[in-house]
Amino acid sequence: MPVLERSLRYLFIPIVITFLYIVITQHLSTIWQGWLPKINELPYFLLGISAVLALLFNCWRISYLSLLLLGYYYFESSPALLPELALLSQEQVILTGTLIITFFATFKDRALFSIYFFKTVLAIGLCVILTLGWSAVITHLSSVDAGLLPNTLKLLTSLYAPIGISCIVLCIFTIWRATGVDSAIMVTLFIWLFHFYLPDELPLSILLTILALAYLTSILVRSHNLAYRDELTGLASRRSLNTLAHSLNKHYCLAMVDIDHFKKFNDTYGHDVGDQVLQLVAKKLSKVEGGGKVFRYGGEEFTIVFTNKNIEAVLPLLEEIRRKISQYNIVLRNQRRKNQSKLNRDEGHKTNPVVNITISIGVAEQHGETSFENTLKRADKALYKAKNNGRNQVFA
Ligand SMILES: Nc1nc2c(ncn2[C@@H]2O[C@H](COP(=O)(O)OP(=O)(O)OP(=O)(O)O)[C@@H](O)[C@H]2O)c(=O)[nH]1
């Protein structure tokens, strides 16, 4: 996916939606003001639920953040506890929170109950130490010589500069990783900073409710992707095809695509290279024209569905994609590439083996009352014939 599309999807749109939620909630203040005592309880439930659900779906970063925010909310809403626990100034709290959120953005989701638990606790401790150390340096510099660090510059260096750097790091990771979970972490920073810089705009309970909804949405999207997307190729999965089958009208074309001699390919070059080839074929197939929807049927088989298309219209499109794949030179990457210097890599690139693969396609048209399974079977039979006729061809 191009960087611009990733930035739009995973960075700007989630932030804009969160901002809109905040603005709408502000405008509806007359409605929720009366419910505030009840709303104040909501973060406990919603963040609690998101912590548990995130754990079930292996999004431990969301789980940790939910728990940390729950803790913060508990202390914020219990004034009796605050004086004893206010070890950090407000500025230090903002910075520590920002650093912790940035830490979660740069780390990957790992098992919760493992060595990573201790690493995470250590990292959170390190964020506190970094904040205290940074504040001490700034205070020292300004006390040594007031001219060295005027007041305006002091605030800039002590707070705005590290927060700015954290924001940049977070944006880079959100765009690079391009997942809903990373967008949710970005939204956490947005809400965290909003809470401190515009404290009178919305109560913390409402901000955390909005954030918990963002967490639950990201977990839902992730679980939907797990069910309906193929992890290796990123294509829609067979379950997704079965769901589409219920909503298809009576006129469509179905193509079954199979990579030729893939077992031999795997045996020769290894399963990892086989996986890369599957990803490549998926990418090429998804560029098929005529509005064809591509699914990974299973193994090295793919299905393409063209709604409201005749077989005559579909055949040239499939023929074109078959030709493109067969002519594509796949340069096999050297497995030791990472350990080589750039010069060696450039040299190696010239000597890396180049291979070609081919695909066979079977097509069937549905017109009338026959069931989806029946059309699928006919496409499968056509594929079998394409294989028997010598492979690397489209058979209808
Ligand atoms: N690397 C990799 N290989 C897979 C995956 N799924 C299935 N395969 C392999 O795909 C191969 C399919 O082999 P066969 O069904 O015998 O077909 P083929 O070798 O492609 O031969 P023809 O279809 O007759 O041209 C098997 O070796 C599977 O292990 C996968 O996700 N990754």
- The domain locations on the chain are 3-228, 238-395
Q: What is the pLDDT of residue 204?
A: 92
> Which of 266, 330, 391 to mutate for ligand 1's pocket (most ligand atoms within 8 Å of CB)?
266
In angstroms, the Cα distances linking 253 to 199, 394, 395 are 58, 13, 13
Beta-bridge partners for 323: none
Q: Report how far ligand 1's centroid is from the alpha carbon of 233 (Å).
A: 15
Ligand 1 pocket (Cβ < 6 Å) reads 232, 258-264, 266, 271, 274-275, 278, 299-300, 387, 391
> Atom 16 (ligand 1): residue with closest C-alpha?
263
Catalytic residues: 300
> pLDDT tens track of the chain, all 396 residues?
778 888 998 999 999 999 999 999 989 988 888 888 889 999 999 999 999 999 888 888 999 999 999 999 998 887 766 665 567 788 889 999 999 999 999 988 777 677 888 888 999 999 999 999 988 887 777 776 666 666 666 667 778 888 999 999 999 999 998 888 999 999 999 999 999 888 888 899 999 999 999 999 999 998 998 889 998 999 999 999 999 988 888 889 999 999 999 999 899 988 998 999 999 999 999 999 888 999 999 999 999 999 988 899 999 999 999 999 999 988 876 555 545 555 555 555 556 778 889 999 999 998 776 788 999 999 999 999 999 999 999 998
> Which of 276, 280, 300 to mutate for ligand 1's pocket (most ligand atoms within 8 Å of CB)?
300
Q: Report how far ligand 1's centroid is from the alpha carbon of 15 (Å).
A: 43
Q: Report how far ligand 1's centroid is from the alpha carbon of 299 (Å).
A: 6
pTM given for the model: 0.76
SS3 content of the chain, % helix, strand, coil (to 5): 70, 10, 20
Q: What is the pLDDT of residue 186?
A: 95
Inter-helix orientation angle 180-197/60-76, to 10° = 20
Looking at CATH, the fold of the domain delimited by 238-395 is given as Alpha-Beta Plaits (3.30.70)
Cα–Cα distance, 54 to 180 (Å, whole number):
12
Rg of the Cα atoms in the chain: 27
Q: Which residue has the tokens 């995470």?
A: 120
In angstroms, the Cα distances linking 69 to 22, 72, 205, 278, 295 are 18, 5, 11, 41, 40
